């Protein structure tokens, strides 16, 4: 039997459970209460760490200060929602392929935003 290849830790627990505490749905950050935003952000932060490790994304795609850039938060939040939807129990068989196609487009937008920000490891620019 061949071992299943892994990269880093598995996805955060909320993405592995059958009942996600945040069902796959778009998040409208301005409409959240501070407590809701904190909960959603914690889940997003865990997922972004897993994503960056799993796909070996560096600071040119997701800078360490991504959370300080609204556009990056919105892109990554949408990407996570799509991921949750593509890999849920009711997803169609080709949903993961569609997600990966959208991920390629999103990586380019993330890289564009990261380059525009001018941020580097250890150096955040507003």
pLDDT of residue 7: 54
Instruction: Indicate whether 25 belongs to any domain.
Output: no
Number of domains within the chain:
1
Distance CA 95, CA 88 (A): 9
Instruction: Indicate whether 17 belongs to any domain.
Output: no
Residue 56: closest CA among 107, 118, 119, 124: 107
Higher pLDDT, 45 or 119: 45
Instruction: Indicate whether 52 belongs to any domain.
Output: yes
Tell me which residue range forms the domain holding 99.
33-117
Instruction: Indicate whether 28 belongs to any domain.
Output: no
Task: Please state whether the predicted TM-score (pTM) of the whole model is above 0.85.
Answer: no
Residue 123: closest CA among 68, 74, 51: 68
Instruction: Indicate whether 18 belongs to any domain.
Output: no
pLDDT at 15 over 50: no
pLDDT digits (tens, 9 = 90+) for 59-110: 999 999 999 999 999 999 999 999 999 998 889 999 999 999 999 999 999 9
pLDDT at 14 over 80: no
């Amino acid at each position: 039997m061949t071992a299943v290849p892994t990269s880093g830790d598995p996805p955060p627990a909320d993405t592995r459970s059958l009942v996600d505490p945040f069902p796959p749905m778009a998040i409208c950050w301005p409409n959240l209460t501070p407590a809701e935003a904190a909960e959603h952000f914690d889940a997003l932060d865990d997922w972004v760490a897993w994503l960056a490790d799993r796909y070996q994304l560096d600071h040119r795609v997701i800078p360490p200060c991504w959370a300080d850039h609204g556009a990056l938060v919105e892109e990554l939040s949408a990407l996570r929602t799509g991921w949750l939807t593509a890999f849920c129990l009711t997803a169609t068989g080709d949903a993961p392929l569609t997600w990966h196609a959208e991920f390629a487009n999103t990586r380019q937008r993330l890289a564009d935003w990261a380059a525009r920000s001018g941020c580097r490891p250890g150096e955040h620019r507003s």
